[in-house]
Amino acid sequence: MKFGVVVFPGSNCDHDAFWTIQQVAKQPVTFLWHESHELESCDAVIVPGGFAFGDYLRTGAIARFSPVMESVGKFAAGGGLVLGICNGFQILCEAGLLPGALTRNVGLKYVCKPVQVRVENADTPFTNACSPGEVLTIPIGHMEGNYFCDDATLQELRRDNRIVFRYASPEGELTPESNPNGSLENIAGICNAAGNVVGMMPHPERSAEPELGGIDGVKIFQSMVGALASR
């Protein structure tokens, strides 16, 4: 199997994701330049965090027009695994691969700290190494992480079990205090209807080794490896 990590001008978590896949998950990985349509026969694509194109206009609004995103869209439509992390989640929403939008945090402040997220759906290619209701500690670092969608979309996400992660207390309780950005219903990550595209605001690559203070994030990458191996 082979992973690809997309690189935009302003990406700053691309090398972190690359390192985690190569050194922790022990899988082949390559960088995918934003100006290229070529996905280099990758089996999974990571759209990483950062500030693609400086977040000008609004987060993800320019990056979604990059040639590589046209190819990522076709890849996803064909069942390819796509994981958007933080800015990557924002880009996937702008590109129409996921519904809703990420808006300014409540309080209008950049938030950077470890948070707890509860696994709402463990039956995805990105969470199969987790247990339903399991609480993971994974860092966040964003200014626009406040997830919002209209009522019809929210009903659809609930009905089809497409809310993958929710911000929670260490005990797994959904409280206002555990919601770091004001996201609707504490939503921290969602998937598309087919389940092969996931966007999440927390950074699993920042909690994949003991030296980083935790290893809960590695379960996301282990899940992807397991899902690809079983295909």
Catalytic residues: 86, 203, 205
Q: Which amino acid is at 140?
A: I
Q: Give the separation between CA 75 and CA 70, rounded to whole angstroms.
A: 9
Q: Give the long-range contacts of residues 13-16, CB within 8 A, separation 24 or more.
A: 13/48, 13/49, 13/50, 13/85, 13/86, 13/87, 13/203, 13/205, 13/206, 14/48, 14/50, 16/48, 16/203, 16/205, 16/206
Are 140 and 180 contacting, i.e. CB atoms less than 8 angstroms apart? yes
Q: Which amino acid is at 170?
A: P
Q: Give the long-range contacts of residues 151-155, CB within 8 A, separation 24 or more.
A: 153/99, 153/100, 154/184, 154/185
Q: What are phi and psi of 132, to 5 degrees?
A: -60, 130
Q: Which residue in this structure is represented by tokens 């590109």?
A: 95
Q: Give the separation between CA 119 and CA 165, rounded to whole angstroms.
A: 5
